[in-house]
């Protein structure tokens, strides 16, 4: 569609260079690129970086959960490392190590599932 109306916008030199570089990469005129991005946003196809959505919150929750689950595996690895290097076992270590194999496998599966869910949420964020 040919656009005939004009809106003046000011950018920093660096911002203008980035806009024009991306427009060139896409094979578009700078004005067409900016117009298309603005219209996509107005049509709900593009959220501004400063806007938080429910999907952003979900991604943050997944990231926090992944970090917590990964720490469990780290703790089990620290116990195993201490014992493998000749350190003395703490009374609770035997019980923890009895579950280490199962725990590590569970942690790996959980981290993979959390990563996959976060990727789906992030993809949904940019295509919704």
Mean pLDDT over the full length of the chain: 77
Say if residue 128's pLDDT is above 60: no
What's the whole-number mean pLDDT along residues 22-27?
86
pLDDT digits (tens, 9 = 90+) for 46-78: 766 555 666 667 777 777 777 777 777 787 788
Query: 0.95 cut: is pTM over it?
Result: no
Distances (CA, A) of 112 to 14, 17, 65, 89, 128: 39, 39, 12, 31, 24
Share of the chain above pLDDT 90, in %: 8
Are 109 and 72 spatial neighbours (Cβ–Cβ below 8 Å)? Answer: no
Angle between helices 30-42 and 13-26 (to 10 degrees): 90
Of the ranges 9-23, 43-57, 93-107, which is most confident?
9-23
* SS3 at position 86: coil
What does the H/E/C string look like for 1-49?
A: CCCCCCCCCCCCHHHHHHHHHHHHHHCCCHHHHHHHHHHHHHCCCCCCC
Model pLDDT, residue 1? 64
Model pLDDT, residue 13? 92
Say if residue 42's pLDDT is above 80: yes
């Amino acid at each position: 569609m040919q656009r005939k109306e004009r809106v003046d916008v000011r950018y920093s030199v660096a911002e203008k260079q980035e806009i024009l570089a991306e427009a060139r990469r896409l094979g578009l005129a700078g004005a067409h690129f900016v117009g298309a991005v603005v219209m996509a946003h107005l049509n709900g196809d593009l959220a501004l970086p400063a806007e938080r959505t429910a999907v952003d919150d979900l991604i943050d929750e997944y990231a926090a959960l992944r970090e917590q689950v990964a720490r469990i595996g780290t703790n089990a690895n620290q116990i195993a490392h201490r014992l493998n290097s000749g350190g003395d076992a703490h009374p609770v270590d035997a019980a923890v190590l009895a579950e280490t194999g199962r725990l590590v496998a569970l942690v790996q599966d959980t981290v993979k599932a959390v990563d996959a869910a976060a990727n789906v949420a992030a993809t949904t964020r940019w295509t919704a």
